[in-house]
Amino acid sequence: MKITLSTIKADVGSVGGHLCPSPEVVARVREYLEREGGGLLIDHYVTQVGDDICLLLSHREGVGNHEVHRLAWEAFRVGARVAKEEGLYGAGQDLLKSAFSGNVRGLGPGVAEMEFEERPGEAILLLLADKTSPGAYNLPFYLAFADPMYCSGLILSPKMGKGFAFTIMDVAHTEADRVIELSAPEDLYDIATLLRDPDRFVIEKIRSRATGEQAVACSTTRLHNIAGRYVGKDDPVALVRVQRDFPAIGEVLAPFALAPYVPGFMRGSHYGPLMPVPEGTPVSFFDGPPVVMGLAFSIHSGTLTDPVDVFAHTFWDHIRQGAAEKALELRRQGFYGPAMLPFAELEYTGIMERLEALEERFFLR
Ligand code: 13P
Ligand code: 13P
Ligand code: MG
Ligand code: MG
């Protein structure tokens, strides 16, 4: 049976700054889905990390479906209304357009969707990150889908040994979606050349070359490109199908132990380590560090089991400790050099205005 999973996330307001949504906002979003989603959805799950709320929707309507997107949009609108009533910070932050126009893409919320033939024992991983941008998944997914040092399945399983095809988007191109498909292992160095720059190139999809089946869908929204100004970081979601001809769940999780430095953190303008955290963890230190949470589900005829909170395991306490140390180490040098994003990626205009004002005070000697 073909089913579709749609993950749609938005920041509709948070308590005390960009920390976390209020329980009432999340409850009302959930309530709306339960009340209105009946005829359309097979199942759903509502979760949160940092100041973002994420809806996982299972249905049979295919990718980009008008009614499914409208349902999510209206659920977030309800959340934004409650956030406003409660006086939350940034109420409605990611709902950048006032009117719904058929699809939430381009309206602010982040979207990752996949339609697939459900396998017996279908297993998926939902990843949700806050205080970072879609390129945050570049390195973990490269390592999990193309590097046998991290994913031994690439040499142990004959089907996985055929490699994976990466669809990579140039997110700096705003007029249209500019994408390229490259295949591992032949194009490994080309893939690495693009993925090394998470601000410009972002994994959109990965599929198995043995079966053609899609394994990964990532959100590629750039709020900056939609609004033309800073309104928050892009806080990406991703869906990963795991096991059998895809990497095992543990192979997808393993690279997150690197806690790689990613763009984001305070004011979306710094680098910080991506810390794997349990479901619902707020952010804190320097509006961060950037966080990622993961929920693993099994699916039967589109119905979701209760999830396993993959980063709640005690193993990750050690990784979190290391990530905190990495965060402190880089924070020690404040604004200097690689602690802060390059000019072109800064989410605030202050520095550029300052540079412009200094122009006339420079002189040639
Ligand atoms: P199975 O061979 O039991 O499917 O397990 C493979 C696996 O996922 C190991 O990590
Ligand atoms: P969010 O994108 O998570 O709203 O964070 C914005 C910010 O500026 C944090 O310092
Ligand atoms: Mg926010
Ligand atoms: Mg956020």
Render each residue's pLDDT in the chain as its tens digit; 365 residues: 899 999 999 999 999 999 999 999 999 999 999 999 999 999 999 999 999 999 999 999 999 999 999 999 999 999 999 999 999 999 999 999 888 888 898 889 999 999 999 999 999 999 999 999 999 999 999 999 999 999 999 999 999 999 999 999 999 888 888 999 999 999 999 999 999 999 999 999 999 999 999 999 999 877 777 777 766 678 999 999 999 999 999 999 999 999 999 999 999 999 999 999 999 999 999 999 999 999 999 999 999 999 999 999 999 999 999 999 999 999 999 999 999 998 877 777 888 899 999 999 999 99
| Cβ pair 145, 326 in contact under 8 A | no
- Pocket probe for ligand 2: among 19, 25, 131, 347, the residue whose CB has the most ligand atoms within 8 Å is 131
Residue closest by Cα to atom 8 of ligand 2: 267
Q: Which atom of ligand 1 lies nearest, measured to the CA of 242?
A: 8
| Residue 230 annotated as catalytic | yes
Task: Kindly state the tokens that stand for 12.
Answer: 């509709």
User: Which residue, among 67, 63, 46, has the nearest Cα to 4 in the 3D structure?
Assistant: 63
* Ligand 2 contact via 268 beta carbon (within 6 Å): yes
User: What span, in angstroms and rounded, lies between the C-alpha atoms of 210 and 145?
Assistant: 13
- Top mutation candidate among 156, 242, 243 for ligand 1, by most atoms within 8 Å of CB: 243
pLDDT at site 287:
98
Name every protein residue with a CB atom under 6 angstroms from any ligand 1 atom. Answer: 243, 248, 250
Residue 231's pLDDT is 67
- Ligand 1 centroid–CA 185 distance in Å is 23
Closest residue by CA, ligand 2 atom 3: 131
> In this predicted structure, what is the pLDDT of residue 230?
66
